[in-house]
Homo-oligomer: A and B are copies of this chain.
């Protein structure tokens, strides 16, 4: 059923690619590293090499199917392309929320234009402390255990 998506992107519909796509779809709202994808496939007894995952994720990125992010620590995280949106990251628990604000997008276009740039994309990340009751329980960004 997604084989067509891949063909449209000029990619052969191979099993590894379909499985990777499936993992991304099952985690639509997360941001996964190549390792994350790899582990999830392992857990599912899919035997796909890590190098393949890196290759495929890059191809997906080129094809516009996924977005690659480099948040705080510089390591790559991927998410399915789901239209423009920005991120809000809790510095305590690492939770990543998404949001969209039209007015902000518009202002970004204006500012780029004012500087003589033909805007092609942007990255906006807001960092702060969330108020979730389970905050501090996640470990994604934890550095020490005070």
Residues of A at the B interface (CB closer than 8 Å) are: 70-76, 88, 90-91, 97, 99, 101, 103-104, 107-108, 111-112, 115-131
27 contacts between A and B (CB under 8 A): A70-B70, A70-B72, A70-B73, A74-B76, A88-B111, A88-B112, A97-B115, A99-B111, A99-B115, A101-B107, A101-B111, A104-B104, A104-B107, A107-B107, A108-B126, A112-B128, A116-B130, A118-B128, A118-B129, A118-B131, A119-B126, A120-B127, A122-B126, A123-B124, A123-B125, A123-B127, A124-B125
Closest beta carbon of chain B to A68's beta carbon, Å: 9
Pick from B75, B91, B117: contact of A130, CB below 8 A: B117
